[in-house]
Amino acid sequence: TNGLCFDKNGNLLACSEDKNELWSISPDGKVTVLFTGYKGKRFNGPNDVWIAPNGNIYFTDALYKRKWWTWPMPEQDDESVYMVSPDHKTITRLTDDLVRPNGIIGTPDGGVLYVADLGDNKTYSYRIGSDGLLYDKKLFAELGSDGMTIDNKGNIYMTGNQGVTVFNPKG
C-alpha cells in the first residue's frame, strides 16, 4: 500500500499499489475493495488519501508504473483527484488539470484541501464546497510533495527529496 488514513470507525483506508485499488481494512484485518477504477477503467495508482470530517474520502491517482503490473497502463486519460461519498457508493473525479497529483491533506474543519502536484512541483489549495466538490484553486507553494500532514495550527508539513519542509497556513 501507499497512502494510509484511519476513518472514525477505526478502518484503515489504503491506496493499493499492488492492484491499483482503494481499500478499507477493518480493525480485524478484513480487506474490502472500495473501488478498482473510474468509469470502467483501472486507476493509474491511488497514491495518497485523506478523509474529511463529513466522511468524504479524497485521494490522488498518479501514474508511477510498477514493474509487477501485468496490464497495459494507463487506462485513465488523466492523473486526478477523486472523491468517494461517505457511504462508499459514489466516486467523482474532481480535477483534470494536474500533472501528477501526489500528497493530499485537508484542514481539520474540512474547509480546505491541499493537493501536491509532484509532476509540476507545486501545491494547490482548494475550498471544499458543501457538496464536497473543489472550488477556488490557488497556488499554495512552489513545491510539490510526496506526502503531507497538517498540525493543529494549520501548518503544512511536506515531504520529498528535500526532506521535510513546513509552510504556515498562508504558504
Going from the first residue of the chain to its last (171 residues), give the mean pLDDT of each consecutive group of 10, the final group possibly shorter: 93 90 96 95 94 97 80 85 96 97 96 96 97 97 94 94 92 91
CA distances from 152 to 24, 108, 110, 146 (A): 26, 8, 13, 21
pLDDT of residue 101: 97
Which secondary structure element, helix H or strand E, spans residue 169, and what is its range? none
Q: Are 65 and 73 in contact (CB under 8 A)?
A: yes
How would you class 163 by CB atoms within 10 Å of its CB: exposed for 0-12, middle for 13-18, buried for 19 or more?
exposed
Put simply, whether the predicted model's pTM sits higher than 0.85 gets the answer yes
Q: Are 153 and 170 in contact (CB under 8 A)?
A: no
pLDDT of residue 100: 95
